[in-house]
Structure formats: C-alpha cells, structure tokens
A = this chain, B = another copy of it.
Amino acid sequence: MRKYIIGVDVGGTSVKFGKFDLEGILLDKWSIRTDRSDKGEHILPAIVASIKETVDLKEIKGIGIGVPGPVKDNVVVHCVNLNWGRRDLVQELHLLLQDKDIIIRAGNDANVAAAGEMYKGAARGYRTVVMYTLGTGIGGGIVLNGELMEGVNGAGAELGHTIVDFRHNFPCNCGKKGCLETVASATGIISLAKENLIRSKAKSPLRRYESFSAKKVIDYAKEGDFISLKTIDEAMKYLALAIANVSLTLDPEIILIGGGVSHAGQFLIDLIEKYFYQMTDPFIKQANIQIASLGNDAGIYGCAYLIQ
C-alpha cells in the first residue's frame, strides 16, 4: 500500500528529507550532503539511494521536491546553486526509481516553504500566503488560492530581488543594485550596520568586533544600542516597503517572515508594522504579518503538500 509521502528539500549544501503519512504528519527526517560536482549529476541518484535506504518504494505515494531555482510545471529551468541546467525532474526520477506510479512534483524552494507554512505551520487555514525567508539572501514564496505562484518563466515570487533601495546601492549577487536582499537579509543587515558605524560617531558594542553577524546586531538592538537599533529599523523599513507593495499587488491573507533573521520575533514585526501602515493602501487597516513557525522544516512540509 502506498502510505507515505517523501519531501525532499534540495539546498546548495545539504538535502533534507521528510517521511510523512498521507495526512502530512512528519514521521521521520534526515539529511545528506549535496554533491554539486560533475554539474550536479550525482544529486538525483543520491536522493533516490537515500530514500530507498529508509522506505520501501512500493509504499511511497509521491515525492515532492523543492529546488533553489525557477521551476515551471515540475521542470527546473536552471539552478546555479546545484550547477544544474534545465532538468525534467518527473522524467529523470521516474527513470531512477523505475516506478512510474510514484507521483513526482517539484517547486521552487521558497514557494514550497510558503506552501509548507500554509499546510502545517503559521499560515494554516489560509489559501493565499506571501512569505519572505530572511537568511543570507531573501527567498520569496507565494501561494495563491492554494497554488504555488510559478509565473510564466518559473520566475514568480523572486521577492528578494524587487528593488526597494536607491540610497545605499549595495551590489546584489544577482548583478543588480538596490534589491531587497541587499538591505534586509542577514547580509544586508551587516552591510547597513557597517555603514552606520562609519557614518556615525555614536558608541556601540559593535565597534568591539572586526566582523559580526546579523544576530549580534539584532541582539544589541534589543538591548537598546543606538547604531544597532537604527540598523534594524532601516532594514525593516525596506522590508515594510516591499510588503506594502506586494499587498497593493496581491492583497494576500497573510504575510510570513521566516529564515534565521526571523528568530528575532515580534521585535521585527513591530518595526515592520510601524512603517507598513504608512506605505500601503490607507484602506487596509489590519495587516496580518506573522513570524513563520516551521523553521527549517517548512521546505519538507511544503514538498509533502505538493503530493496532496
């Protein structure tokens, strides 16, 4: 009997697996290292081998896969982080699995994470969700009426690369300047803090360090350090602008903030809301901006959702 769903969240450094029952209850999880060598040729065989070690293929209803790049109709368009070009995951996995009855579904990792939060996390009960995953970069996920927002090129929901800043002009990995990612990710918070330390003469515990993490800036901000607070306030103002503009576009039911930076919790939400209401439709009186709840498991839950 096909009684399990496997969620596979493929990242540039590790591949996370979840074994779920058909109701989406997580029964087991594990991870393996991502082997990006030889143009990422070993990744899919390693995924199949790892699944086979844990689950009898005959018991698998479907495998959902999240990939850090644009995905359209279960085909990866390209994926720099995995050294992949175009890949038809349904075709390739059916070949490797030697079992065409296993349903294969794929999606962009950030879209999949948003779906996971909708399925079993902070957005449970909603059908239209926008999620910002604030890590080294910023992943954007959109679910509209229960469907992942892929867009015509698979490039939907690239919210980290919407342009919001014309002042700092920090260069983005994508080649542009002014992307949300350059001013509101962990990297962006560090860039803003360094600039504020140069521009201001104010004392700050940050001056003790040669280098520091975004977490340090957030921790000192919570303790009331002026430079740190100014930095987080600026970063959240840019995020509020992005959220306001996305609200004026999609008017979603809920907006989630996830990723490592989001561990700062309500402190961030309060700063975002302070600016959000100045920037969105005056007619929107009540924002629904929340911290995501599934952490690193959002991806595998979203992969399981794809098979539902």
Contacts and interface: CB of A to CB of B under 8 A. Distances in A.
A249 B248 contact: no
A154 B244 CA distance: 15
A284 interface: yes
Interface string A153-171: 1111111011100110000
B281 A174 contact: yes
A209 interface: no
Stoichiometry (number of copies): 2
A253 interface: yes
Nearest to A251: B151
A122 interface: no
A152 B251 contact: yes
A274 interface: no
Contacts of A128: 151-152
Contacts of A155: 247-248, 251, 281, 283-284
Contact of A282 (B174, B241, B246, B247): B174
A70 interface: yes
A278 interface: yes
A278 B176 CA distance: 7
Interface residues of A, number: 43
A149 B248 CA distance: 11
A284 B154 CA distance: 10
A151 B128 CA distance: 9
A244 B153 contact: no
A204 to B, nearest CB: 26
5 contacts: A144-B144, A152-B251, A156-B249, A158-B251, A158-B281
Contacts of A32: none
B245 A245 contact: yes
A279 interface: yes
A250 interface: yes
A123 to B, nearest CB: 13
Most chain B Cβ neighbours within 10 Å, of A162, A249, A278: A249
Given A281-B155, A281-B161, A249 B142 contact: yes
A186 to B, nearest CB: 20
Contacts of A163: 241, 244-245, 279
A78 interface: yes
Interface in A19-77: 70, 77
Nearest to A151: B251
A101 B241 CA distance: 45
A252 interface: yes
Contacts of A161: 248, 281
